[in-house]
A and B are shown apart, each in its own frame.
Chain A
Amino acid sequence: MADSVTGANPEHGADGDDPSRRDFIHIAAGVAALGAAATVAWPVVDQMNPAGDTLALASVEFDLTKVQLGQSVTIKWRGKPLFIRHRTGAEIAAAIKDDKAVLRDPATDEVRHKPGKAEWLVLIGTCTHLGCVPTFGGGDYGGWFCPCHGSHYDTSGRIRKGPAPTNLEVPEYAFLSDTVVKVG
């Protein structure tokens, strides 16, 4: 800025002032003005993040007694489907058997459910490929199958075949009692 000052008005430019001080004031003023603009910019950006009421619905409690053995229930959580599956002994056995198989996204069945609660599988019901909702009972591995681009998931929700890169995501959840889970 200081350059353009003297440059723009050379007839006034000759004085004995210390140029570094003059620079400092103009630079400080310019930086302070930019700082003010940046401070205002943050609220404008942050307002697009989830609002208080949206975050308030971010956790749900669910009563598991509503789900029969061998059934799943789909509930809406954070705007997306959440699969809560009450797995049969056969499904659990099949999942454990495949722990040793070659997996694209290696994980044992053990880590995909809560300790001692192997019959309860809680998954976010969106395909990790591009977000479609897989259906249960289709595909080659007895688990979920995504109709959009043909991804196959097994009874533990692990990706076995198709374009999806990772297993169906297990959300953060906890058992509040034997029959109630809190998701989120």
Chain B
Amino acid sequence: MSGHSNYIPKTGFERWLDARLPIARLAYDSLVDFPTPKNLNYWYTFGGILALCLGIQLVTGIVLAMHYVPHVDHAFASIERIMRDVNYGWLIRYMHSNGASMFFIAVYAHMFRGLYYGSYKAPRELLWILGCVIYLLMMATAFMGYVLPWGQMSFHGAVVITNLFGALPLIGQSITTWLWGGFAVDNATLNRFFSLHYLMPFMIAGVVILHVWALHVTGNNNPTGVHVQSKADTVPFHPYYTVKDGFAIALFMLMFAAFVFFSPNALGHPDNYIPANPLVTPAHIVPEWYFLPFYAILRAVPDKLMGVLLMFGAIAVLFILPWLDTSRVRSLRYRPTTRMYFFIFVVACLVLGFCGGRLPDDYVIPGLKSFQLLDADLNSMVWLSRFATAYYFAYFLIILPVMGLTENPLSQPKSISEPVLSHSAALPVGAAASPEKRG
């Protein structure tokens, strides 16, 4: 799929360039002529959307860094100065702060799509792992970015997250002190977080290049999970997918704009408009919404070290996923039982997110007193998050390995073109699961 090139330099300059630096050939092969399965649905547009998100964050971030002052005495005021005095500063700052949330919405959609269609399975294991690296870097970048406005949530969020490392035996305290550069989160911490927050997006961009490279080696997966067999299965990336991605991007931007212009603080927390005060902690510390599921896993465990390990384990398990799923069938479209477990998994993730935003002792069903189980009432958020956490890990560590061996999958089409040509009539799940019908 890679290696062969259809690029023909037309002008003298193109031939001259092609003999020295075949950059036009690279662009042509990867963005124009790249053969792409013709049955990709809208879930496959999130890759393009994510590229745009990264671009927006980079541009707005570089601009914000021109005005931001990374000092505990000036950080809060400098951001408000951007909002009040810098020309279009309000637009650039709100795009950046809401852009982080949009980035995570898109990345979660992208990941769930990969999980559903088995895009992590051979030969795309490295493609998936590179994606997980990007996700990890995104989380680190988003966390450090949230510290920069130096509001109450910034400060106390930084305190809580850096203290997680203190849970590690022996070296924990030294690591925390090293991260802080002092005895607490302070100016030194803010400065290094700013520096790293500026650096990491470029690391993300680097891994994105590897991610796209790996994609172009193996080619796209597709909703059937069946390998591309002939030219009839594919269309050139341009104009077929540039225009489809473009349309999806326009829709995504509509949602983005609705937040930026009409509800710019809906995804944030009011306490972050109070300047940081190390002596007073806000009544309820919550991370940004995209971290809530992991926060719920952390709090589900009564032991500090175990909680931290489980939280990191929730991400680590994604890295070994390609070897946990034992099925030979990629797409869950042809694995009805596993598909059911997958949808329960999605619900479990949502439940974790919901629990992460509540207090552990809050009732799940208000006012219903049940009974005390170990350390908490059964009808409490903490028990709900325990069940959801258990399912989260069970899905990866038990359900996927076992189902791959025991499940009897539906018959797959022989090629991508087959279900298209037969108009899905013969396929038991094709009619319901073929997203093109709904596109």
- Of A39-47, A75-83, A122-130, A143-151, the one contacting chain B is A39-47
Partner of A44, one of B59, B235, B236: B59
A52 touches B (CB below 8 Å): yes
A111 on the B face (CB < 8 A): no
| Contacting residues of chain A (23-60) with chain B, CB-CB under 8 angstroms | 26, 29, 33, 36, 42-44, 46-49, 51-54
Residue B246 CB within 8 A of the other chain: yes
Report whether A43 and B246 are in contact in the complex, using a CB–CB cutoff of 8 Å.
no
Of B84-92, B147-155, B424-432, the one with at least 4 CB within 8 A of chain A? B84-92
Contact with B87, one of A5, A8, A26, A43 (Cβ below 8 angstroms)? A43
Does A9 make an interface contact (CB < 8 A)? yes
B238 and A8 contacting across the interface, CB-CB below 8 Å = yes
Is B170 located at the chain interface by the 8 A CB criterion? no
Contact B84 A43 (CB under 8 A): no
A8-B239 contact, Cβ under 8 Å, with A43-B87, A47-B86, A52-B84 = yes
* Known A-B contacts A33-B246, A51-B81; A9 and B87 likewise in contact (beta carbons under 8 Å): no
Say yes or no: is A1 at the interface (Cβ < 8 Å to chain B).
yes
Is the beta-carbon distance between B81 and A1 smaller than 8 angstroms?
A: no
A53 contact set on B, CB distance < 8 A:
81, 84-85
Per the bound structure, the CA–CA distance linking A26 and B235 in Å amounts to 18
Cβ–Cβ contact A51 & B85, under 8 A: yes
B66 part of interface (Cβ distance < 8 Å): yes
Point out the residue from B87, B91, B236, B243 that lies within 8 Å of A51, measured CB to CB: B87
Cα–Cα distance between A51 and B246 once the two chains are bound (Å)? 34
Contact status A47-B243, CB under 8 Å:
no
Check A4 for interface membership: any CB of B closer than 8 A. yes
Q: How many A-B residue pairs have CB under 8 A?
A: 52
* Consensus secondary structure, chain B interface: helix
Interface status of B27 (Cβ within 8 A of chain A): no
Chain A: interface residue total (CB-CB under 8 A): 20
Are the CB atoms of A9 and B66 closer together than 8 Å?
A: no
Q: Which residues of B contact A52 (CB under 8 A)?
A: 84-87
A-side binding surface: helix, strand, loop or mixed? helix
Say yes or no: is B63 at the interface (Cβ < 8 Å to chain A): yes
| B89 neighbours in A (Cβ, 8 Å) | 47, 51
CB atoms of A49 and B243 under 8 A apart: no
Considering the chains assembled together, what is the distance between the CA atoms of A77 and B236 in angstroms? 60
Contact A47 B81 (CB under 8 A): no
Given contacts A44-B59, A44-B63, A47-B92, contact A9 B236 (CB under 8 A): yes
Partner of B239, one of A5, A43, A46, A47: A5
Q: Which residue of A lies closest to B87 (CB)?
A: A46
| Cβ contact within 8 Å between A29 and B85 | no
User: Measured between alpha carbons, how far is A29 from B91 in the docked complex, in Å?
Assistant: 25
- A9-B243 in contact (CB<8A): no
Interchain CB contact (< 8 A) of B88 among A26, A36, A47: A47
Complex Cα gap A48–B86 (Å): 8
Most buried by B among A42, A44, A48, A53: A44
Q: Which of B84, B236, B246, B253 contacts A29 (CB 8 A)?
A: B246
Are B246's CB and A4's CB within 8 A? no
Set B59, B60, B236, B246: member contacting A8, Cβ < 8 A: B236
Q: Is the CB of A29 within 8 A of B238?
A: no
Q: A26-B239, A47-B92 given. 14 additional CB < 8 A pairs? A: A4-B239, A8-B235, A29-B246, A42-B88, A43-B88, A47-B63, A47-B87, A49-B87, A51-B67, A51-B81, A51-B85, A51-B86, A51-B87, A53-B81
Binding site for A on B (CB under 8 A): 32, 59-60, 63, 66-67, 81, 84-89, 91-92, 235-236, 238-239, 243, 246, 253
10 contacts between A and B (CB under 8 A): A8-B235, A8-B236, A43-B87, A46-B88, A47-B88, A48-B66, A49-B87, A52-B85, A52-B86, A53-B85
